[in-house]
Copies of this chain bind each other. A is one copy, B any other.
Amino acid sequence: MAARRPPQSLTRVNYAVFVTVTSTDVAKAAGVSRAAVSQILNGRGERFAPATRDRVQQIARELNYQPSAAARTLARGASELVVGLLPHTTFGGHLQDVVDTLTDELSAAGLTLVLRFSDSSSHSFERLVQTMRPLAVVSITRLRDSDRSLLTELGIRLVEPHLDAREPVDHRIGRMQAEHLVSRGYTRLAYAHLRDRREDPFGPARADGVRDACRQAGLPATPILNLGIDADEARRELNRLDLPRYAIACYNDDVAIALLSAAREAGLRVPEDLALIGMDNTPISNLVSPRLTTIETDIRGAGLRMAQMIVRSVTGGTTEDDSDEQVPLRVVERATT
């Protein structure tokens, strides 16, 4: 074991003193060269005697040998780091489960997933990718153009699962919302965004889905509302509509609840005068009255697919989503439509 002496002058940073087991330790203990240890532990050990192989693997385990990422990166010229970019939106258990799945799947493939918010400053993102040289960046949401070109320029693989299906999932969500409303007899539809664009990463694609569904059904253009989760804003946006008898597809359940609350105060009957459909099937959507119609998605399954796609893309070189299955989506019909 090499006891690491910290550098002498600590002007900037205090270093911990690590006790590390290196490949040299393993090699000595096993009576082979470091090259042998490296090859055997990296799956290129076919050429070695099975006994040697076993011995090395056994000893590495006993010593709890963990190769240094820094050294490996330096030697290989690329890291095993994958950076996951989280949208700057409210998210709870669901999205976190997806990320956990991703973490584990990538870890099993020898890759390390590390997270960032996609909205943190471009500057710090640039530093991150320039210095860490991740193997890939996977973005849950649409990337800034500047970040995208940075990655292209550096030759860092970009994986964007949400763009990959033949019909992007967000377009489908909007379409399903609209088709449900149309099937309940509504002919005048609107789309309600979250006003803060940062929190509305999927809004544009979903609004497109609503618009396309309306066009296909021969309905007029859909007005676009923009509101925060706030009673005043909801009332104001509602007033822009030629009520009664409108149906609104909402960015998420919170937006729908804000509109629901405003409608109640304005004396509108829901769903007779105003129909609402949310998205996410949040627990609270089932606690308001009337209970909210919404859309539910099997996001865990989606996480698994995403993970597999990334592993495939990183290990196999393709970014295409050859499996053409789609994320399962389901309308949860309750009392607001």
Contact = CB atoms under 8 A, between A and B. Distances in A.
B77 A7 contact: yes
Interface in A258-295: 258, 261, 264, 282-284, 286-289
A206 interface: no
A259 B314 CA distance: 47
Contact of A74 (B9, B71, B230): B71
Interface residues of A, number: 91
B78 A100 contact: no
Contacts of A16: 78, 135, 154-157
B128 A112 contact: yes
Interface in A99-138: 99-100, 103-104, 107, 110-112, 114-117, 119-121, 123-124, 127-128, 130-133, 135
A323 interface: no
Contact of A18 (B42, B123, B155): B155
A73 interface: yes
A81 B57 CA distance: 29
A127 B66 contact: yes
B77 A103 contact: no
A67 interface: yes
Interface in A36-83: 42-44, 66-74, 76-81, 83
B284 A284 contact: yes
A317 interface: yes
A281 B98 CA distance: 27
4 tightest Cβ-Cβ pairs between the two chains A and B: A229-B283, A90-B92, A115-B115, A66-B130
16 contacts: A7-B76, A14-B157, A16-B78, A18-B77, A66-B131, A68-B133, A72-B131, A83-B114, A88-B93, A88-B96, A93-B196, A103-B121, A107-B124, A230-B283, A230-B286, A258-B287
